[in-house]
Amino acid sequence: MKNISLILVVSLMITSTAHLLAKDFGNLIAYYSFDNIKGDTIINEVNDKKFAGKIKGVTEIGAGKFGKGISFAGKAEAKRIAIEEAYPYGDTDLSIPLWVKVPKGANNNTRVGVIMGNYNKPNNCNIEIHALGQVRWWWNNGERDHKAKRDLRDGKWHHLVFIRDKSNKKFMMYIDGKVEMEADGAVTDVKPLPQWIGGDQRGDNSHWFHGWMDDFSIWTEVLDAKEIREIMEKGILSVTGKEKLAVFWAKVKS
């Protein structure tokens, strides 16, 4: 009888967790905590069958903002993460939150690097930190080229959110929970293409990211200021559930 009860409890837990995942993750399509790495593969903790990243070159895993983070700093090897599937981002609302840490004293003549991008392919979408430490969003061969003013080259963790609000025809960038840049106007949708994290399609290593990243996620919706603040203070999954349900679900399936 005890065994039957235990089976029922486990069954209920699995059913409940699956329901919560389907309900609470909503339009969160990718989440990389960098805590869940198998060999050279970065696992997408929302769906471990889609949007996995392949590490190219020698990266460093160390202390992040929450748990582990990943560093692309220093050497000239092609230190990037390849996402071979295309995220469905080109014709939707879009939010991309993550944490970054850039070393102090980065060279003014060399950009900190691409956070995520597919330039110089057509239909490109790049998010990056530029030469003076400013956050930058580049869309569709420069149809939009927005830079914030704040210099992030201070050796501290900063929370960034890149937002395309298609419904309201806006581009926005948040730094540490506050709107740092906002621009109005419609833009051309782009065809989604495979992306790189920590670089883009160019072979020029001056565009590769020099610094640390953590808690990287992609949403096909516009996160509001309250959700962004909660993510910044408590972690990505604070707005999708109070525990890391994706990690738990992956363990249940294994």
> Is residue 160 within 8 Å of 100, Cβ to Cβ?
yes
Of residues 224 and 77, more confidence is placed in 224
Q: Give the residue extent of every domain in the chain.
A: 27-239
Strand partners, 68: 63
Please tell me the predicted confidence (pLDDT) of residue 247. 44
- Summarize pLDDT for 20-64 with one digit per residue, the tens: 333 355 699 999 999 988 889 999 988 888 999 999 877 788 999
Please tell me the predicted confidence (pLDDT) of residue 173. 97
> Is residue 112 within 8 Å of 197, Cβ to Cβ?
no
> Is residue 112 within 8 Å of 106, Cβ to Cβ?
yes
Which of the four CATH numbers 3.30.1330.60, 3.40.30.10, 2.60.120.200, 3.40.50.720 does domain 27-239 have?
A: 2.60.120.200
Amino acid at 130: H
- Summarize pLDDT for 140-191 with one digit per residue, the tens: 999 999 999 999 999 999 999 999 999 999 999 999 999 999 999 999 999 8
Report the alpha-carbon distance of residue 245 to residue 247 in Å, rounded: 5
